[in-house]
Amino acid sequence: MQITIDGKILEFHKGQTILDIARTNKIEIPTLCYHKMLKPEGRCRVCLVEANSKIVTACDTLAEDNMQVVTTSERIRRLRLEALNLIASTVPKETLRKENELTKTMRLVGFKKPTYKHNIVKDKDKSSAAIWKSMDECIVCGRCVQACSKMQTVNALSYMGRGYSTIVVGSENQPLKDTTCVSCGQCSLFCPTDAITEASDISKVEKALRLKSKIKVVQVAPSVRVSVGEFFGLEPGTIVTGQIVASLKKLGFDAVFDTNLSADLTIVEEAKEFVDRFKKGNLPMFTSCCPAWIDFCCEFYPEFINKLSNTKSPQMMLGALIKTYYAKRLGLKPSDIISVSIMPCTAKKREAKLKNINASNVKDIDYVLTTRELGQWLKSKKINPAKLLPAEFDCPLGESTGGGALFGVTGGVMEAALRTAYFYIKGEEMKDPKIEPIRGTKSLREFEVNIGKNKVKGAVAHTLERAREIIERIKKGESFDFVEVMACPGGCIGGGGQPKPVDWEAIEKRAKAIYSIDENKKIRLCHQNPDLKRVYETFLQKPGSKKAKALLHRKYPKRGKPQQQD
């Protein structure tokens, strides 16, 4: 079939929209509410074009054979300007001075300043430990609601009111913390303005850094090192591990530790748990490193809570080691240490505040910052990591293996865990640690891996829509041994705290970078981590020991999301 856009005759296939065809042929049509990873809803009316002499929105109008489309004309230009005038008038002036998708579209269309008076919407919600919502900046593009209800099937957000008083609220107009919200942060990631953001902790961390009497330590999650460079003009997937360490030192931290090390530790404990359960039953075992997934399972599928692995997430494991093992080595009380983590994730903010999550008698993790917050913070301090000399993570919690690195990407936990489980079951190492069938970007992947005579049947899901799908299938009688779930698209590299705007190409580039970190490591099997070996020898004894259980494993509620402290 053929369509003519601005005089060019182009081929297309059924089901393509005018925008799809234009973009594949490098014809620019400005959009705002449209996002490639979501279903077009046609709410913002910016992408207007003329199709067969009628004005239509390009993002949600299917192309027809022999359609005549005009994307640039004086009429179209004026209509788009009017659309932006109406939209820009709904947000405060500061929003129009920031760099965001709204201002980007404004530039593209050539729109300067709204002529209507802004009327203030006073609805603010700071109830959640992970997500803040301020409706004055909302342009009702619908992305957050769609991400929450379709991609995550959580339905924590809905619309309230009608006409110009329409706003996005927690479902049934409840504060977000009282909804089913699992804190994944996808709503904030897709928000084209800053109407929904992470619950910001930058100022609290800055204040803590000024406390002279404390030792300030920070950890960096696997996927942050392949994305934070994007704030400084680097390509997605540029690995800036050493530069992050150097920047954090510049910001004033005393020690910078690697969450990849505790990812190794998670694998050592989780693979042990899996092998035990594989022998004794109680399968499938679900991974437990994604707190949004934990919330989801506890909230929507309490009958599966006993299938969750009880190993803590890498963030909490390193938090535990920092406030016990590390404190002991330095002869400090846990309360002498401020422990901060840099995460791709908003759910980790809530995780750090859960009841019964701490190994020490204080909070194991005091503050969590997202990749975005780190980027913002560095920018405000005029620190450009790209211009710094790389530095090394600190002893004694700085060494990591390729397996730990994989935590950042969907399928990574599964791959690393099976490498170690292989060793536990067979007593020998895998010849090639790359387990191909686990990899890929499909949002639900199933595979079988042979370990000696044993067949392990596994599944990997990312986005909670797919998690729901696999659970429903298990409920109908299908059986799996090991299931990995990550709430965010692509895994933590597409996490709710990652750079905006998100797009799938960036996620894929970050994934590639994660795999290359794994490949370039001399040691790729988590249980061979030398720092960890020392931790076990001098402190934890052995995987699954009483002490390991006490410090590195957790309990879940019987039903409903785990509760927060305070």
Give the residues lining the site for ligand SF4 (CB under 6 A). 131, 138-144, 147-148, 152, 154, 156-157, 168, 181-187, 190-193, 195-196, 290, 292-293, 344-345, 347-348, 486-488, 491-492, 495-496
Cα(419)–Cα(270) distance, rounded to whole angstroms?
12
Q: Which of 3, 10, 37, 47 binds ligand FES (CB under 6 A)?
A: 47
438 binds, among ligand FES, other proteins, ligand SF4, none (CB under 5 to 8 A by kind): none
44 forms part of the interface with other proteins (CB under 8 A): yes
82 binds, among ligand FES, other proteins, ligand SF4, none (CB under 5 to 8 A by kind): other proteins
CB closer to ligand FES, 70 vs 386: 70
Q: 459 in helix, strand or coil?
A: strand
What sign results for the dihedral spanned by CA atoms 289, 293, 298, 301? Answer: negative
Q: Which of 12, 22, 45, 417 binds ligand FES (CB under 6 A)?
A: 45
Q: Which of 31, 71, 95, 498 binds ligand FES (CB under 6 A)?
A: 31
Cα(433)–Cα(265) distance, rounded to whole angstroms?
18
47 binds, among ligand FES, ligand SF4, other proteins, none (CB under 5 to 8 A by kind): ligand FES
Question: What is the DSSP code string of 550-565?
Answer: HHHB----SSSSPPBP
Cα(463)–Cα(184) distance, rounded to whole angstroms?
10
Q: Which of 9, 120, 122, 163 binds other proteins (CB under 8 A)?
A: 163
The alpha helices in 322-410, defined as continuous H runs, are 327-330, 347-351, 371-380, 402-405
157 binds, among other proteins, ligand SF4, ligand FES, none (CB under 5 to 8 A by kind): ligand SF4
CB closer to ligand FES, 57 vs 197: 57
Binding mask 115-144 for other proteins (x = CB under 8 A): -x----------------------xx----
87 forms part of the interface with other proteins (CB under 8 A): yes
59 binds, among ligand FES, ligand SF4, other proteins, none (CB under 5 to 8 A by kind): ligand FES
Q: What SS3 string covers 176-241?
A: HHHCCCCCCCHHHHHCCCCCEEECCCHHHHHHHHCCCCCEEEEEECCCHHHCHHHHHCCCCCCCCH
Cα(363)–Cα(337) distance, rounded to whole angstroms?
10
Q: 522 in helix, strand or coil?
A: coil
Is there a contact between 412 and 436 (Cβ–Cβ < 8 Å)?
no
131-134 and 124-125 strand pairing = antiparallel
| Length of the chain as a residue count | 566
Query: 520: buried, middle or exposed (CB in 10 Å: 19+, 13-18, 0-12)?
Result: exposed
Find the part of the chain contacting other proteins (CB under 8 A) among 40-48, 241-249, 268-276, 519-527.
40-48
CB closer to ligand FES, 139 vs 245: 139
Task: Output Rg (C-alpha) for the chain, integer angstroms.
Answer: 24
User: Shortest Cβ distance from residue 17 to ligand FES (Å)?
Assistant: 9
Is there a contact between 286 and 309 (Cβ–Cβ < 8 Å)?
yes
29 binds, among other proteins, ligand FES, ligand SF4, none (CB under 5 to 8 A by kind): none
Consecutive H or E run containing 504: helix 504-520
165 forms part of the interface with other proteins (CB under 8 A): yes
Residue nearest to ligand SF4 (CB): 495
CB closer to ligand SF4, 123 vs 206: 123
User: Shortest Cβ distance from residue 131 to ligand SF4 (Å)?
Assistant: 5
Find the part of the chain contacting ligand FES (CB under 6 A) among 44-52, 206-214, 278-286, 363-371.
44-52
CB closer to other proteins, 50 vs 273: 50
User: What are the angstrom distances between the C-alpha of 160 and each of 10, 27, 183, 198?
Assistant: 42, 37, 21, 22
89 forms part of the interface with other proteins (CB under 8 A): yes
List of residues 6+ apart from 414 with CB closer than 8 A: 287, 438, 458, 460, 482, 484
- Site residues for ligand FES per CB under 6 A: 31-34, 42-47, 57, 59
- Site residues for other proteins per CB under 8 A: 42-45, 48, 55, 57, 60, 62, 78-79, 82-83, 86-87, 89-90, 116, 139-140, 158-159, 161-166
